[in-house]
Each structure stands twice: as C-alpha cells, then as structure tokens.
C-alpha cells in the first residue's frame, strides 16, 4: 500500500484494475423472481417501442415534428433498456459479476447517455405542447421538422459531451483497494468513491450532472405547464381548457413516470435499506421505457388511428393474397 501511495503522490502512474465486481443484488432474498420480472419488462419494452417506431415510420400522417420527438424517445428507450437489462441479467442471473475496466466504462456511457436523452426528450415534447397550445397560429412556423431535428441533435451532442467528460474523469482515478461496485450497473457515484487518489472533480460532476439532466429539464417542464395553465385560465373557458390539456395527458404521464420515482428515491435514499435503494433505482431505470409506448398507444388518438389503419391495410392485403392463391 505504501508503494501505491508513494507512486500516486509522485504522479508516476495510475492504478487501474483489470476488472470491477458488481455486487448490487447480492443478498436480496428471492431475487431470481425479480430477474424474471426484468426479463418480462425488457420484452414488453422492445415490442412496444419497436411498434411505435414502425407505426411512425410507416404512417405519413405521423411525419410531424411532435412525432419526430416521439420516435426518438422510443429509440432511446429501446437502446437504453437493451444496454441495461441484458447485461444486468448476464451479471446477476449467470453470476458473471466481474466486468473488465473498459467494458465497465462503456456500460456506464450507454446507460447514462440513454437516461439523459429520456429527460431531454421530455423537454422537447414539453416545448412542442407549449407552442401548440399558447401560440397555435404560429405552431407551423415555430415548430418545424428542421427545428425539432436540430433540437434533438443538440440534446444528443450535449448529452454525449457531458457523459464523455464524466467517463474521462473516471479514467484518471486509481483503484488500489476495493473494486466492488455496490450497484446493479457501473454507477459513477459508486465507482469514484472507490478511488484512492484525488476524486474531487468526480465529486463535483456528481452534483452538476443531475442538475443538467434532471433538475433543469424538470424545472423547464413544470414552468411550461404552469405558463400553459395560467394562460388558459385567463383566455379560455373551462371546456376549452380541458380540451387543450387533454392533448397533454400523454406527455404529462411520461413526465410523471420518469421524474416522480426518481424524486422519491433520491429524497428517501438515506432512509431506506441499500438493497431497497438498488431495487428502486433499477425499477426507475427500466419502467419508463416499458410504459412510454403503452401510454402513447392508449392515450394518443393519432397513433391509435394509425394502428387501426395499418392493421386494416394488412388484413386486406392478406385477403387479397388468399384470393390470388385460390385463383
């Protein structure tokens, strides 16, 4: 140990482990049932988000700026759960708890990128609803395909840069004692606390990152709906207000599903058992990507009608093929 400390003190080298050990669910009773549940959640998420993407791609009536954001949200949900759940099942269900140093940082990169983009997508959808309700006559000018694509591309660039900085700061740390990560994935907070050299920059980023991807988007969304509510209360009747808010039900449901569990978990984090915290955090990671497509299919009239049209067209094509084969 003295050799390690002297080396670090002289900045001679970094001590990088060959692997980390992820131990998140070890000790949780009957945890295999939870793995079965995660597998079910993953299958529903893959089917649901793929269906939403296919419907938006095939139906030209859904080629609007709003559904550009919805398509991107479905893609991010699909990518995020695909990056997280299969790896979690491989680690804990098949006892592959060792994960190489580079694989761990890659795992962290994809998980954090998708988590961040889910939040920023909700911001894009919130802005879409804000302009559609407050400035309906200017909506076609203010919210164009080019604008929405540029907004989403900007969010991707911002997210990737932020996550790369986070990963880069981890790569400068030395690990000369424990390499056991008490989480269900390669979590930044759990990793930098294991370091034996100066981790203050990581400590700072652990505060700045949640502000960027969690608090600022949440504040923007809340302020946008507060502005919508105040404006409608002044200029619209109760019936008009309810009709306008009806168009926001789907988005508000997504916001609630994404932010409320995180708020509850982070508020009670110090008061709950570590195993319960890990279970809660894993649920908040995998649940929104599963529920988002279900909510949009059930609560968005355009997608329901599009599904009916596509199924009707497919049914007619099958009947036509049968007639041709009989003839």
pTM for this entry: 0.88
The answer, yes or no, to whether residue 264 has pLDDT greater than 90, is: no
Model confidence pLDDT, tens digit, residues 15-49: 889 999 999 888 788 888 999 999 999 999 999 99
Cα angle 17, 22, 28; round to 5: 155
Model confidence pLDDT, tens digit, residues 112-127: 999 999 999 999 999 9
Starting at the earlier edge strand, list the strands of the sheet with 180-181: 98-100, 19-22, 180-181
Alpha-carbon gap, residue 183 to 24, rounded angstroms = 4
Helix (H) / strand (E) element for 282: namely helix 274-299
What pLDDT, on the 0 to 100 scale, is given for residue 313?
63
Q: Judge whether 59 and 309 are in contact, CB under 8 Å.
A: yes
Strand 19-22 vs strand 180-181: parallel, antiparallel, or unpaired?
parallel
What is the b/e burial string over 10-20, where b = at least 16 CB atoms within 10 angstroms of the residue's CB? eeeeeeeeeeb
Alpha-carbon gap, residue 107 to 102, rounded angstroms = 9
The answer, yes or no, to whether residue 168 has pLDDT greater than 80, is: yes
Q: Judge whether 14 and 174 are in contact, CB under 8 Å.
A: yes
Q: Judge whether 118 and 70 are in contact, CB under 8 Å.
A: no
312 or 166: which leads in pLDDT: 166
What pLDDT, on the 0 to 100 scale, is given for residue 6?
41
Model confidence pLDDT, tens digit, residues 88-147: 999 998 889 999 999 999 999 999 999 999 999 999 999 999 999 899 889 999 999 999
Domains contained in the chain, CATH given: 2-326 (1.20.1070.10)
The Cβ-side half-sphere exposure at 67, using a 13 Å CA radius, reads 20
Quickly tell me which residue has 């962290």 as its tokens.
108
Kindly report the average pLDDT of the chain as a whole number: 86
Terminal Cα distance for the chain, rounded:
84
Model confidence pLDDT, tens digit, residues 301-310: 777 788 778 7
144 Cβ contact partners less than 8 Å away, ≥ 6 residues apart: 65
The answer, yes or no, to whether residue 326 has pLDDT greater than 60, is: no
What pLDDT, on the 0 to 100 scale, is given for residue 200?
94
Pick left, alpha or beta for residue 45 (phi over 0 → left; psi -120 to 50 → alpha; otherwise beta). Answer: alpha
What pLDDT, on the 0 to 100 scale, is given for residue 208?
94
The Cβ-side half-sphere exposure at 64, using a 13 Å CA radius, reads 15
Phi and psi at 122, nearest 5°, equal -65, -30
By percentage, how much of the chain surpasses pLDDT 90? Answer: 57
């Amino acid at each position: 140990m003295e050799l390690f400390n002297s080396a670090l003190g002289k900045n001679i080298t970094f001590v990088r482990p060959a692997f980390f050990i992820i131990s998140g669910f070890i000790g949780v009773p009957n945890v295999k049932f939870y793995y079965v549940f995660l597998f079910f959640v993953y299958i529903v998420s893959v089917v649901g988000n793929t269906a939403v993407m296919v419907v938006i791609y095939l139906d030209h009536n859904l080629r609007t700026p709003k559904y550009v954001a919805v398509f991107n949200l479905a893609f991010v949900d699909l990518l995020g759960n695909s990056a997280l759940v299969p790896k979690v099942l491989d680690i804990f269900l098949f006892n592959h708890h060792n994960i190489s140093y580079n694989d761990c940082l890659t795992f962290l990169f994809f998980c954090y990128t998708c988590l961040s983009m889910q939040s920023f997508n909700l911001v894009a959808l919130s802005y879409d609803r804000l302009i559609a309700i407050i400035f309906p006559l200017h909506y076609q000018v203010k919210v164009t395909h080019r604008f929405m694509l540029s907004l989403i591309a900007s969010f991707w660039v911002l997210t990737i840069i932020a996550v790369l900085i986070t990963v880069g700061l981890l790569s400068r740390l030395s690990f000369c004692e424990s390499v056991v990560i008490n989480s269900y994935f390669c979590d930044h907070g759990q990793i930098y606390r294991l370091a034996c050299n100066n981790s203050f920059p990581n400590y700072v980023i652990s505060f700045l990152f949640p502000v960027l991807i969690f608090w600022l988007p949440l504040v923007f969304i809340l302020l946008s709906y507060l502005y919508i509510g105040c404006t409608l209360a002044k200029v619209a009747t109760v019936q008009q207000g309810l009709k306008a808010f009806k168009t926001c039900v789907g988005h508000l449901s997504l916001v609630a599903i994404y932010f409320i569990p995180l708020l509850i978990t982070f508020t009670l984090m110090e008061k709950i058992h570590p195993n319960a915290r890990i279970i809660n955090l894993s649920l908040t990671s995998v649940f929104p990507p599963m529920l988002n497509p279900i909510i949009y299919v059930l609560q968005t009239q355009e997608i329901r009608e599009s599904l009916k049209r596509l199924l009707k067209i497919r049914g007619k094509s099958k009947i036509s093929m049968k007639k041709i084969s009989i003839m």
